[in-house]
Structure 1
Amino acid sequence: MKEGHSSADGAPNTVHRLRALVVELHLLAAEFARINNLHPTDLRALICLLDAERCGRAATPTWLREQLHLNSASVTALIDRLDKSGYVKRVRDEKDRRRVRIDVTPAAVELGWTFFGPVITHATAATEKYGSRDRRAIDTFLEDMLGAVDAAKASRAPDTTRR
């Protein structure tokens, strides 16, 4: 057990452990961004785009803007940087030629797997020790935690600053 963690059962302990996991994942992502000369926002964009590809979702600049809560000009500059780095390419939608998709390149997929593959492999192995009922409970818990964050954000005063 890590120093500073109590073995006492309870919601505060669970929330603190979840926070510790989030901090560790954030530090890992920051290390990846530093090693690969990526701005943190560019890394978040790549993660969104890789997740979209994995789910079979077409990613557009508008969709990415909504995911990252950025303005259109910032998203255009971000896509330009990722395109110049060889991590994404703009592709015209075959059904609607006015629409542009943002596709991740094999180089981006390889880069992500090279760094995060071991984490994903170990995390997958860790979850396999749980039965399907426990995994459903974990999934429900994680969805509830995302909902709690959304509720906390919604209860704050509106942000009047522009991005």
Structure 2
Amino acid sequence: MSTSSDPAQGPELEIVHLLRATTVELGLHSARFAQRNGMHPTDVRALIALMDARRARQELSAGRLGAVLGLNSAGATALVDRLERAGLVRRARGRQDRRTVVVELEERAMALGRSFFGPLIDRSVELLRGYDAHQMAAIRGFLTGVREAAAGDGGAAGRGA
């Protein structure tokens, strides 16, 4: 028997389903990018991880990139080799520790990403500009919480899921 306080019947679940649908659409958008550019989905995830690291002014070695993506050492090496052959990344000496070899994005990768994802990013920014600071904080808090739940097990282990 459900009640009006049952979250499975309320607006919360509607938003969860909308978030799931959005996630699916974003995944399909990313898959189209990969397909059009002859990439594996992991290649796209690697480029995103490298862009995020660049934005955060962090350097990623091939091993660290592999760890972020859940790849073993051989998989990470093959990934970087593939992206390097495609002209999307280069291996370089670390700026903080010259003994370390890091993976850096080539400008070609940045331009390729901007050309495909730019319109989606621009539309997202346009939509967000319609929200006030309080609403933006709520959106940020919700998305951060969902991301943290997804990064862990989301509580599934405790429910036998």
- TM-score of the two chains, using structure 1 as the length reference: 0.86
Does the aligned pair in 1 maintain the 2:89–2:105 contact within 8 Å?
yes
Name the structure 2 match of 1:109: 110
> Deviation of residue 51 (structure 1)?
1.4
1:32-61 per-residue CA deviation (whole Å, 9 max, x = no partner) reads: 000000011111101111111122111221
Name the structure 2 match of 1:98: 99
Gaps of 5+ in 2: 1-8
Name the structure 2 match of 1:161: none
Gaps of 5+ in 1: 1-7, 158-163
- TM-score of the two chains, using structure 2 as the length reference: 0.87
| Greater length-normalized contact order (CA 8 Å, ≥ 6 residues apart) | 1
Is residue 68 of structure 2 the alignment partner of residue 67 of structure 1?
yes
| Letter matched to residue 124 of structure 1 | V
- 1:153, 1:69 → 2: CA distance? 18
| 1:25-104 correspondence to structure 2 within 5 Å | 25-104=26-105
Instruction: Report the aligned-residue RMSD.
Output: 1.8
Runs of 4+ aligned residues of structure 1 deviating over 6 Å after TM superposition are none
Does the aligned pair in 1 maintain the 2:62–2:76 contact within 8 Å?
yes
Secondary structure at the residue paired with 2:153?
A: helix
- 1:143, 1:95 → 2: CA distance? 30
- 2:101, 2:154 → 1: CA distance? 31
| Percent of paired sites with the same residue | 39
- 2:155, 2:89 → 1: CA distance? 33
Number of residue pairs matched by the alignment: 150
